[in-house]
Structure 1
Amino acid sequence: MAMAASSLADWLRSLPDDALADLLRARRDLATPPPANSDVLATRAGTAGSVARACENLDNAALAVLETLLVAGADETPVSVERLARLLPVVPSNALDRLRSLALAWGPDEAVCVPAAAREVFGPFPGGLGASSAELAGLDPDVVAARLADVGEDEQALLSTLSSGSPLGRTRDAATDVPLDEAVTPVQKLLARGLLLRRDAQTVELPREVGLALRGGLVVDRAALTEPELPVEHHEQSRVDAAAAGEAMEFLRHAETLLRTWSHQPPPVLKSGGLGVRELRRLARDLDVDERRATLLVELVVGAGLVASDESTSPEWVPTMLTDSWLSTPPSGRWLTLAHAWLDLPRMPGLAGGRDARDKVVVPLSEELRRPLAPAMRRRVLSTLADLPGGAGVAVDDLVALLAWRAPRKGGRARDTAVRDTMSEATALGVVALGALTTAGSALLDGDQHGAAAAMADALPEPVDHVLVQADLTVVAPGPLEPDLARMIEAVADVESAGHATMYRVGETSVRRALDSGRTADELHELFRTRSRTPVPQSLSYLIDDVARRHGRLRGGVASSFLRCDDEVLLTEVMSTPAATELELRRIAPTVVVSPFPLAEVLDTLRAAGFAPAAEGPDGRILDLRPSGRRIPARSRPSRRTEPSRVGPLGADQLTAVVAHVRAGDKAARSRKGSMVRLPAGGGADTSATMALLSAAARDQREVWIGFVDSHGTATQRVLTPVRVGAGMLETSTGERYPLHRITSAALVEE
């Protein structure tokens, strides 16, 4: 029969190098800094914090095996797999091997051990079972079962409650001992029978033996060891991609509207950081979306670097110079910018609207939404979908249950909420549709940005080059318009409703806006004549001509500003209004007046008074004086590789070096040292004895044990073969170099 390793350190020393490398790869914290030897590695692996981190990557079955080993006392005495099998309906395939690969269990099947710290991690009641009863521990399970058969229904109900949840119960009936023939309440009767333990005057505990008996001798049932099924609904991948494209177009439209709105009216930054509730509600109302979607939009435009705080004395959220290039990018490129920002966003927008520890509302862009592990959660959700066949859609509740089973200790209390938020956000962005991962989303997850943009471009409907003008002065775009056509239509019409088909409405204000921007009536007539697949209604032509006839009869320039008009009667009418006094208009010729106010302000005031002036350039052409919006310089985004939350796995060369470091420390620890020579503290004084020892070892090709302090100040030991000593360095047969001033002691290794 194989014997158990005497300790975790001994078991680690017995592992092949590739198995030790796999352990260090899976438990990254064990390798930083490199452990001096297996004893140090075992100490790290046995700490409560490291055990807890390792357990985050275990599924429910492996955790159940680990908890069952604790119930069996494997943290104190080795437990056989045969004993383990008696406490489980079935020992899950590979679960014990998984625990061994993470150093959460070690030893042969006849004697399996677990770290003592595991009991601290799982709490005082592993498996939901209480402490062992001294009275019941030595009894046969059949005897315990016979005692349980004698209890009444009230007592049985109480026992069932304690066995299915916490084994502790609070009651006043535990205050005093009562003989069985005098017991009245279920608690008193069970205490008298020895089927409950009294912890204090108000607390009772269900003994482990009773809990196991009520569970049929098993720590967990079979359902807890079986991964829940993930029902899927199959769709054509093309249908999934098309549905996602529609969502992506809508999201992009909202993002564009947000950027244009904030270009002209940037919202203030709260003193504590973030975006105020009032501004969020105003934005949601302007976009006609709910506050959750508005929050996601705000977080992503900031996360993508399209918006930032201007950091002035009264800071505001202002679009950056990246906005203009983003707006001119094709839809697939705009989508990629936002989708990539979402995937790596170290924040959880879904938490906005909740309450913080001070019972204050958590607002968008605030520090309370920062969650460094959020990108890992998103990738975990999307990777689960990526493992399914193409076009396989899942229900969110089923996905939540599956991920909870696969890693019940990962993500904390917000785990299930994070999964739901991830699916909701991914659907809004078009990364997921109909519960399935899209082609673009799959490429995005794989890091293929070009492929993701190309896939989204293929899914998006082809831009259309025409509109449908209707008799009620509405213009229907039967799909996404070509960029130039979209700009022209938006200049002369207002969006009335958006979606797969966008409806615009032409009115006097919108026509005047187009004329203000420099377009002429003839150009507007030509636009509708050439781009409308339906006949242009006469009412639209009349509207354009009527507005154009009145538009621009007053012309403004800079004097600071001037107004000129060939119609002296109209100019006289202007001078008789209160606006003339407000603008300090002064007539310098029968057809010309000037004002000390800026031209834009003069024109706005006259328009408010009912006139329709237009701005004029030096060449007499109409000018568009509307501001293009504020912009601030874009800030560089931190590289993912430099973010502390995204420390990558150890590379193959690093793992090889750490394993060699551990093996060298083990070799040094077990080597027999001869008489030792110690260097004086600080490296001063006479070092001739040490130099002579190392030189002799190099000449005779003898192994030497040295103690040294590395660049991190960590003391360690090595066994090596010197080949050269000089110039302040010790060179070894393996090519390593050790500064002599860091060597603290040396001794020949005895053969």
Structure 2
Amino acid sequence: MAALSLADWLRSLPDDALADLLRARRDLATPPPANSDVLATRAGTAGSVARACENLDRATLAVLETLLVAGADDTPVGVGRLGELLATVPPRALDRLRSLALAWGPDDAVSVPAAARDVFGPFPAGLGVSSTELAKLDSDALAERIADVGEDERALLSTLSSGPPIGRTRDAAIDVPLASATTPVQKLLARGLLVRRDDQTVELPREVGLALRGGVVFAGAALTEPELPLERHEQSGVDTAAAGEAMEFLRHAETLLRAWSDQPPPVLKSGGLGVRELRRLARDLDVDERRATLLVELVVGAGLAAADESTSPEWVPTTLTDSWLSMPPSGRWLTLAQAWLDLPRMPGLAGDRDARDKIVVPLSEELRRPLAPMTRRRVLGTLAELPAGAGVAAVDDLVTLLAWRAPRKGGRTRDPAVRDTMAEATALGVVALGALTTAGGALLDGDLHGAAAAMADALPQPVDHVLVQADLTVVAPGPLEPDLARQIEAVADVESAGHATMYRVSETSVRRALDSGRTADELHELFRTRSRTPVPQSLSYLIDDVARRHGRLRGGVAAAFLRCDDEVLLAEVLGTPAAADLELRRIAPTVVVSPYPLAEILDALRAAGFAPAAEGPDGRVVDLRPSGRRIPARGRQARRVEPTRGEPIGEGQLTAVVAHVRAGDKAARSRKGSVVRLPAGGGADTSATMALLSRAANEQREVWIGLVDSHGTATQRVLTPVRVGAGMLETSTGERYPLHRITSAALVED
């Protein structure tokens, strides 16, 4: 029986099967193929075959490679032969290959594209070329020949049998009889169990490789999906653990943005954040450099920071930072988690070396990977398949599973990307204890409101009180209410953070609170009403002592002025070296002025041991501390993540492509009568074409036409005209074709 071509097989497919093929292999549909012959040619190219193989699991790939070993790219192979070469034929693997046009034909004559051999290389399944001499031996005779080899020779055969079957050696240079052979290579060459390819290359024949593998191309273990060991947890426990990680990540992100507000780091000339700046940030946040990299990538990816456009660009928080800081924790988490899921970059590659042996730094172009979101969704999607609360026992088990499911996808970063995804998802609270959280599942499904609500439920409820200790420390037993947190941060410094945050009150922190306009009575009231423990006298004394000295010396803008009711104190100020540096000049017994900005004057006087305060036009204390730099936020483009390469094909477009192929097939097999062709240039008389089309419309006969579409592609159609006029040809199916695009026409003969 003659071999069935791929084009003929495609023509025999029902429309829904052809649509499934085009949906799975999107590169075949763009531009729409003129007919099944064009579609078959396109499907048989090496590039298209390689892309289709990326989504195949190891078992299905094993079937395809085994068909290549059997020579199905040249002569059709029966399923029986496939069963002889495999320990077990994976169920539905052959159907999967047929659905992707990577195999076709009935069970007794299965073919594969010739380009598949280019995709898998010269040694599919790691087996060498068949030996004419060994092919004549039966299995028993070959087994006896192999059994006669020594241990060194057998070790060499075992190594080559697992693939690739090629070895480089100097012992292949000359022929040596078996009796004179001294090395394993020479002995195997003399026995015919190795084949010489050139003076330095030997190859293990296919027959020997199969014999050493037990007569099969792939063992049964390679065809079975590996199990994923699981650890069972309560889903509530998973969510609680994730909430703790999320709170810590949010605290670090907030600290980073405040640090960049005060002192933005420079942008490298080549782009990105310098290694020195990254290390300084990691030290300030008390985290490792990988976590610091993830933080900077996400705050920039979320639009909370960006490079300004100055002559010396710096990484500066944007105007979105202020609104983000005012959000509840669940909203802040959602912003960063969504940015991570759609981030077309791989932060985990930072610290590696590029092709020029330079360290890859955060925020650099070398970290851009457009397919990174697909990898993250693939990892989280696998976790979503597990029972609620079940987590992977070890990340390496997940790496092994995903590598089996798509061994040709991801390249050299395939396995590291899975590990990085799990580490990043755990740091963000999307994953905890190896399991997908409730919030993470909603985020993966695109339910942003549900994700934020789930994280809000998991996060500990804000507390409205603190615990003041005798050593001037203030303990927050949980996340504080936003208003209380702002008040405590104004009068105390964070000493340690975690589930319970510890603050420390000092003379500097109290003066900072007074500088911001708060009074001593307000600070006493804050601790009296919000502390569940008695307020120690040492704290009250500290507040009163700082307040007593604070503001006795007041400054204003003249460019700047200082006033003080105590003339002795003002004279003491004028007698300091700082007075000369600031060019202070007395303009009244209680007032001096300076040409320098007020903020510089106050800082210099504080360094000299005084405690001045700034006042506004109404005489009240004002806060002159800088609020940090801000630059306009840049709009983030919505990212659409697809499970495979290429733009998605809509159902309407898919139907049109199938109809396009079928119409081309019909035109190709129709018997044409006399063909009327339009001369090139468009200036010739078209009366003959018009007459033929009008005749077909009147007689309701099918007509074959050749036309050029808007992309300049020549196609053919068989149709039934119903009206010809006004420069258009209308068909019985409602289609309309411009007459100026029709290049030829002929009546279809019965």
* TM bracket (short chain): over 0.9
Shift of the alpha carbon at 1:726? 1.3
Deviations 1:94-120 (A, max 9, x none): 111111111110011101100000000
Would you say the 8 A contact 2:3–2:76 is kept in 1? no
1:328 counterpart (326, 329, 335): 326
Against the structure 1 CA distance between its residues 126 and 115, is the aligned structure 2 distance closer, same or farther, given a 3 Å change threshold? same
Q: CA deviation at 1:5?
A: 5.5
Partner of 2:85: 87
Matched ranges for 1:349-360 at <5 A: 349-360=347-358
CA contact (8 A) 1:730 1:739 kept: yes
**What is the 5 A alignment of 1:382-397?**
382-394=380-392, 395-397=394-396
**How is 1:215-226 mapped onto 2 (pairs within 5 angstroms)?**
215-226=213-224
Secondary structure at the counterpart of residue 674 of structure 2: strand
Aligned to 1:750: 749
Question: Helix, strand or coil: the match of 2:681?
Answer: helix
- Identify unmatched segments of 5+ residues in structure 1: none
Alignment partner, residue 456 of structure 2: 457
Name the CA distance, whole Å, in 1 between partners of 2:643 and 2:587: 69
**Displacement of 1:642 after TM fit?**
9.8
Does 1:262 pair with 2:257? Answer: no
1:640 equivalenced with 2:674 (yes/no): no
CA offset at residue 648 of structure 1?
4.3
Partner deviation per Cα, 1:245-289 (whole Å, 9 max, x = no partner): 110011011111111111111111111111111111111111111
* SS class of match (2:129): coil
Q: Name 1:593's counterpart in structure 2.
A: 592
CA distance in 1, matches of 2:336, 2:733: 51
Which position in structure 2 is the counterpart of 1:53?
Answer: 51
Q: Which runs of structure 2 are paired with 1:38-77 in the superposition (5 Å)?
A: 38-77=36-75
Q: Which of 119, 122, 125 is 1:127 aligned to?
A: 125
> Aligned residue for 1:145?
143
Q: 2:642–2:648: 8 Å Cα contact kept in structure 1?
A: no
Moved over 3 A (4+): 641-648
> One-letter code of the match for 2:725?
G
Distance 2:33 2:638 in 1: 29
Change (3 A) 1:4 1:441: farther
Deviation at 1:682, TM superposition (A): 2.7
Q: 2 CA distance for matches of 1:218 and 1:415?
A: 29
**CA distance, structure 2, for counterparts of residue 145 and residue 390 of structure 1:** 52
Take 2:553 and 2:619, find their aligned partners in 1: how far apart are those partners? 12
Aligned partner of residue 21 in structure 2, secondary structure: helix
Q: Which amino acid aligns with 2:495?
A: E
Match for residue 172 of structure 2 among 147, 171, 174? 174
Seen in structure 2, the aligned counterparts of structure 1 residues 744 and 644 have a Cα distance that, compared at 3 Å, is: farther
1:42 and 1:222 map into 2 onto residues whose CA distance is 33
2:704 matches 1:705: yes
Instruction: Verify the 8 A CA contact 2:189 2:195 in the aligned structure 1.
Output: yes
> Secondary structure at the residue paired with 1:388?
coil
1:623 alignment partner, SS class: coil
Shift of 1:604: 1.1
Q: Residues 729 and 737 of structure 1 are in contact (CA less than 8 Å); yes or no, is this contact kept in structure 2?
A: yes
Structure 1 position 641, deviation (Å): 4.0
Paired position in structure 2 for 1:364: 362
Alignment check: 8 A CA contact 1:464 1:482 kept: yes
Residues 101-153 of structure 1 show CA distances to partners (whole Å, capped at 9, x for unaligned) of 11110011101100000000001111110111121122212221111011111
| Equivalences, count | 749
Cα distance between partner residues in 2 of 1:750 and 1:143? 64
Kindly state the Cα deviation for residue 165 of structure 1 after the two structures are TM-superposed.
Answer: 2.9
Q: Which residue of 2 aligns with 1:346?
A: 344
Query: Which residue of 1 is the match for residue 514 of structure 2?
Result: 515
The secondary structure found in structure 1 opposite 2:95 is helix
Match of 1:622, SS state, is: coil
Q: Using the alignment, how far apart are the partners of 1:369 and 1:424 within structure 2? A: 17
- Contact 1:465/1:485 (8 A) holds in 2: yes
SS of equivalent to 1:640: coil
1:163 aligns with 161
- State the Cα distance separating 1:654 from its structure 2 match: 1.5
1:565 aligns with 2:560: no
Per-residue Cα deviation, 1:359-415 (whole angstroms, up to 9, x for no partner)? 001000000000000000000000000011110010211100000000000101110
Decide whether the 8 Å contact of 2:232 with 2:390 is kept in 1: yes
Distance 1:712 1:626 in 2: 63
Contact 2:293 2:347 in 1 (8 A): yes
Residue matched to 1:718: 717
Distance in 2, Cα, partners of 1:636 & 1:353: 29
Q: What is residue 115 of structure 1 aligned with on the other side?
A: 113
- Superposition deviation, residue 609 in structure 1: 1.4
Determine if contact 2:374/2:641 at 8 Å carries over to the other structure. no
1:215-261 Cα deviation digits (max 9, x unpaired): 11111111100000001111000000000011001101111111111
1:606 corresponding residue in structure 2: 605
Residues 513-535 of structure 1, C-alpha deviations (whole Å, 9 max, x = no match)? 11111111110000000000000
**Equivalents in 2 of 1:729, 1:321: separation in Å?**
56
Computed over aligned residues only, the root mean square deviation of the Cα atoms, in angstroms, reads 1.2
One-letter amino acid of the structure 2 residue matched with residue 428 of structure 1: A
Equivalent residue of 1:77, what SS? coil
CA separation of 1:39/1:328 partners in 2, compared to 1, >3 Å: closer, same or farther?
same
Distance, in Å, in 2 between the alignment partners of 1:643 and 1:481 is 40
Asked if structure 1 preserves the Cα contact closer than 8 Å seen for 2:562 and 2:591, the reply is yes
Partner Cα distance (1:112, 1:72) in 2: 11
5+ long unaligned stretches in structure 2: none
Q: Is the 8 A contact 2:342 2:641 kept in 1?
A: no
Measure the CA separation in 1 of the matches of 2:187 and 2:567: 109
Question: Could you say if the C-alpha distance between residues 363 and 427 of structure 1 is closer, same or farther in structure 2, counting changes exceeding 3 Å?
Answer: same
- After TM superposition, the score normalised by the length of structure 1 is 0.99
Q: What TM-score do the two structures reach when normalised by structure 2?
A: 0.99
Contact 1:4/1:108 (8 A) holds in 2: no
* Separation of aligned partners in 1, 2:143 and 2:741: 67
Q: Do 2:3 and 2:75's aligned partners in 1 also have CA atoms closer than 8 Å?
A: no
Task: Output one character per residue of 1:181-209: Cα deviation in whole Å (capped at 9) or x when no partner.
Answer: 11111111110111000011111110000
1:322-354 per-position Cα deviation (integer Å, ceiling 9, x unaligned): 111111111111110100000000000000011
Pair 642,107 (structure 1): closer, same or farther in 2 beyond 3 Å: closer
Alignment partner, residue 577 of structure 2: 578
Question: Partners of 1:687 and 1:165 in 2: how far apart?
Answer: 66
Give, as a single letter, the amino acid of the residue that structure 2 aligns with 1:550: R
Question: Whole-Å Cα distance in 2 between the matches of residues 155 and 419 of structure 1?
Answer: 40
Q: Which residue number corresponds to residue 738 of structure 1? A: 737
Aligned partner of 1:678: which letter?
R
**Contact residue 4 and residue 110 of structure 1 kept, 8 A:** no
Distance 1:643 1:311 in 2: 33
Q: Find out whether 1:691 has 2:693 as its counterpart.
A: no
- Residue pair 1:280, 1:295 contacting (<8 A) in 2 also: yes
| Residue in structure 1 matched with residue 189 of structure 2 by the alignment | 191
Aligned to 2:286: 288
Residue 351 of structure 2 contacts residue 360 of structure 2 at CA under 8 Å; is this kept in 1?
yes
Amino acid at match of 2:600: E
SS in 2 for 1:166: coil
- Show the counterpart of 2:400: 401
Distance in 2 between residues matched to 1:70 and 1:192, nearest whole Å:
29
Give the aligned partner of residue 154 of structure 1. Answer: 152
One-letter amino acid matched to 2:9: W
1:495, CA displacement in angstroms? 0.5
CA distance in 1, matches of 2:527, 2:514: 15
1:369-518 equivalences in 2 (<5 Å): 369-394=367-392, 395-518=394-517
CA–CA distance in structure 2, aligned partners of residues 487 and 501 of structure 1: 16
* Counterpart Cα distance in 2 of 1:5 and 1:663: 22
C-alpha distance in structure 2 between counterparts of 1:633 and 1:15, whole Å: 56
